[in-house]
Chains A and B, each alone.
Chain A
Amino acid sequence: MSSTSNTTVSTGGLPSRRNTELAMLVFAVLIPVFAYANVGLAKDGSLPAGMLGYGLGLGLMAGVAHLVVRRWAPYADPLMLPIATLLNGMGLVLIWRLDQEPQITTPSLGGPMAADQLIWSTVGVALFLGVLIFLKDHRILQRYTYISMVVALVLLASPIFIGEEINGARIWVQIPGVGSLQPAEFAKIIIAVFFAGYLMVKRDALALASRRVMGVYLPRGRDMGPILVIWAISLMILIFETDLGTSLLFFGIFVVMLYVATERTSWIIFGLLLSASGAVLVASTNAHVGDRVHNWLNPLERGANDGVTETANVMFSFGSGGLFGSGLGQGYSRLIGGIGAKSDYILATVGEELGLAGTMAIILLYALLIQRGMRTALAARDPFGKLLAVGLAGIFAIQIFVVAGGVTGLIPLTGMTMPFLAQGGSSVIANWALIALLLRISDTARRPAPAPAPNPDAEQTQVVRA
Chain B
Amino acid sequence: MNKPMRRVSVFCGLLILALLVRVNWVQFVQADELQNHADNRRVTIERYSHPRGDIIVDGEPITGSRETDNPDFRYERTFTDGEMWAPVTGYSSQGFGASMLEGVHDSILTGDDDRLFFNNTVDMFTGEDQRGGNVITTLNADAQRAAFEGLGDAKGAVAAVNPETGEVLALASTPSYDPGTISGTGNEAGEAWLAYENAEDDPRVNRALRETYPPGSTFKVLTAAAALEHGLVEDVDTETETPSPYYLPETDQVELPNDADPGNFCEDATVRTAIRYSCNSVFAKLSDEVGNEQMIEMAEEFGFNEEHFVPIRTAMSSYPEDNRPQNAQAGIGQASNRATPLQMAMVASAIANDGTLMRPYMVDQLVAPNLNVIEQHDPEEMSQPVSPENAQMLQSAMETMVEESVIDVSGLGDVRVGGKTGTAQHGENNEETPYAWFISYAMTDEGSPVAVAVVVEDANVAREDVSGSGLAAPIAVDVMEAVLNGENAG
Whether the pair B26, A318 counts as a contact (CB closer than 8 A) is yes
Distance of B445 from chain A, by nearest CB (Å): 62
**Pair A401/B1 contact, Cβ less than 8 Å:** no
* A300 close to chain B: CB less than 8 A: yes
Select which of B22, B34, B41 is within 8 A of A335 by beta carbon: B41
Indicate if A383 sits at the interface (CB-CB under 8 A): yes
Most B Cβ at <10 Å: residue of A320, A360, A363: A320
Q: How does the 8 Å CB contact mask read for B12-37 relative to A, with 1 for contact and 0 for none?
A: 11011011101110111011111101
Q: Given contacts A300-B37, A316-B34, are A409 and B22 in contact (CB under 8 A)?
A: yes
Given known contacts A263-B1, A366-B16, is B22 in contact with A394 (CB within 8 Å)?
Answer: no
What CA separation (Å) do A94 and B166 show in the bound complex?
A: 58
**A167-175, A371-379, A426-434 - the one binding chain B:** A371-379
Q: With A316-B34, A318-B34, A332-B45 as known contacts, state yes or no: A408 contacts B23, CB within 8 Å.
A: yes
Q: Quick one: which of A256, A316, A401 has the most chain B CB within 10 A?
A: A316
Q: Are A390 and B6 in contact (CB under 8 A)?
A: no
Q: Is A316 touching B39 in the complex (CB atoms < 8 A)?
A: yes
Question: B42 an interface residue at 8 Å Cβ cutoff?
Answer: yes
Of the residues B15, B45, B71, contact of A397 by C-beta under 8 Å = B15
CB-defined contacts of A401 to chain B, threshold 8 Å: 15-16, 18-19
Query: Are A319 and B20 within 8 A (Cβ)?
Result: no
Tell me if A360 and B20 are in contact (CB < 8 A).
yes
**B59 within 8 Å of A (CB atoms):** no
Most buried by B among A315, A323, A355: A315
The answer to whether B15 and A377 touch across the interface, beta carbons within 8 angstroms, is: no
- Chain A residues near B71: list those with CB within 8 A: 102-103
**Contact A316 B18, CB 8 Å, known A300-B37, A378-B5:** no
Residue among A355, A360, A410 with the highest chain B CB neighbour number at 10 A = A410
Contact in complex: A378, B6 (CB < 8 Å): yes
Q: Is A259 an interface residue (CB 8 A)?
A: yes
Evaluate contact between A363 and B23: CB separation under 8 angstroms: yes
Contact between chains at B35 and A390 (CB < 8 Å): no
Chain A 367-398 interface 0/1 with B at a Cβ cutoff of 8 Å (1 = within):
10011001001100001001100100110011
Separation of A378 and B8 alpha carbons in the complex (Å) = 11
Check A302 against B39 for contact (C-beta < 8 Å): yes
A322 to B, closest residue via Cβ: B31
Chain B residues in 8 Å Cβ range of A335: 41-42
Closest B residue to A398 using CB positions: B15
| Interchain CA distance A410-B27 in the complex, whole Å | 13
Chain B hits for A259, CB < 8 A: 4, 7-8
- Judge if A400 is at the interface, Cβ distance under 8 Å: yes
Within 8 A of B (CB), among A276-316: 300, 302, 308, 312, 315-316
How near does chain B come to A9, taking the closest CB pair, in angstroms?
A: 14
Given the complex of chains A and B, what is the CA–CA distance between A308 and B40 in angstroms?
8
Give Cα distance in the complex from A319 to B12, angstroms.
26
**Chain A residues near B26 (CB, 8 Å)?**
315, 318-319, 351, 408-409
Decide yes or no: A319 and B34 within 8 Å by CB, A356-B28, A363-B23 being known contacts: yes
> For residue B35, which residues in chain A have a CB less than 8 angstroms away from its CB?
316, 319-320, 322
> Which residues of B are found within 8 Å of A367, using beta-carbon distances?
13, 16
Closest residue on chain B to residue A371 by CB atoms: B9
Chain A positions within 8 Å of B37 at CB level = 300, 316, 319
Q: Is A261 an interface residue (CB 8 A)?
A: yes
Give complex CA distance A378, B45 in Å.
Answer: 52
With most chain B CB atoms within 10 A of its CB, the pick from A319, A323, A356, A374 is: A319
Measured between C-beta atoms, what is the minimum distance from A263 to chain B in Å?
Answer: 5
> Does the CB pair B42–A320 fall under 8 Å?
yes
**Cα of A364 to Cα of B23 in the assembled complex, Å:** 12
The answer to whether the Cβ of B2 comes within 8 Å of any Cβ in the partner chain is yes
Q: How far is the CA of A410 from the CA of B22 in the complex (A)?
A: 6
- What DSSP secondary structure best describes chain A's contact surface? helix
A226 to chain B, nearest CB (A): 21
Residues of A within 8 A of B4 (CB): 259-260, 263
Q: Is the CB of B40 within 8 A of A316?
A: yes
Q: Which residues of A contact B34 (CB under 8 A)?
A: 315-316, 318-320
The B-contacting residues of A in range 66-114, CB under 8 angstroms, are 102-103
A351 near B9 (CB under 8 angstroms)? no
> How many angstroms between the C-alpha atoms of A42 and B2 in the bound complex?
49
- For window 28-85 of B, CB contacts with A under 8 Å fall at 28, 30-35, 37, 39-42, 45, 71
Alpha-carbon distance between A393 and B35 when the two chains are bound, in angstroms:
36
User: CA of A323 to CA of B35 in the docked complex: distance in angstroms?
Assistant: 12
Interface contact A363-B40, CB-CB below 8 Å? no
A359 within 8 A of B: yes
Q: Which of A300, A321, A370 contacts B12 (CB 8 A)?
A: A370
Is A351 a contact partner of B22 (Cβ separation < 8 A)?
A: no
Report the bound CA distance from A393 to B71 in whole Å. 43
- Does A206 count as interface, using CB distance less than 8 angstroms? no
Q: Is A405 an interface residue (CB 8 A)?
A: yes
Distance in angstroms between the alpha carbons of A283 and B13 in the assembled complex? 27
Complex contacts, B40 vs chain A, CB 8 Å? 316, 319-320
Of A261, A322, A370, which one neighbours B27 at CB under 8 angstroms?
Answer: A322
Q: How far is the CA of A393 from the CA of B39 in the complex (A)?
A: 39
Task: Take A316-B34, A322-B27 as given contacts and tell me if A405 and B8 are in contact as well, using a CB distance cutoff of 8 Å.
Answer: no
Residues in B whose Cβ lies below 8 Å from that of A378? 2, 5-6, 9
Do A360 and B8 touch (CB < 8 A)?
A: no
- With a cutoff of 8 Å between Cβ atoms, the chain A residues found around residue B22 in the complex are 405, 408-410
Residues on the A chain within 8 Å of B9, using CB: 371, 374, 378
Please indicate the chain B residues that have their CB under 8 angstroms from the CB of A256 in the complex: 8
Give the distance to chain A from B14, nearest Cβ to Cβ, in Å: 10
Q: Is the CB of B12 within 8 A of A377?
A: no
CB-defined contacts of A103 to chain B, threshold 8 Å: 71
A160–B374 Cα distance when bound, in Å, is 69
Which chain B residues border A386 with CB–CB below 8 Å? 1, 5
A370 with B42, Cβ < 8 A, contacts A103-B71, A322-B27, A408-B26 known: no
Give 6 CB contacts A-B under 8 Å. Answer: A319-B30, A332-B42, A332-B45, A359-B27, A374-B5, A410-B22
Residues of B within 8 A of A (CB): 1-9, 12-13, 15-16, 18-20, 22-24, 26-28, 30-35, 37, 39-42, 45, 71
Q: Which 10 A-B pairs have the closest CB atoms?
A: A319-B34, A356-B27, A397-B12, A401-B15, A316-B40, A374-B9, A410-B22, A367-B16, A260-B4, A322-B31
Besides the known contacts A351-B23, A404-B23, 4 further A-B residue pairs in the complex with CB atoms under 8 A apart: A319-B27, A319-B35, A320-B35, A356-B31
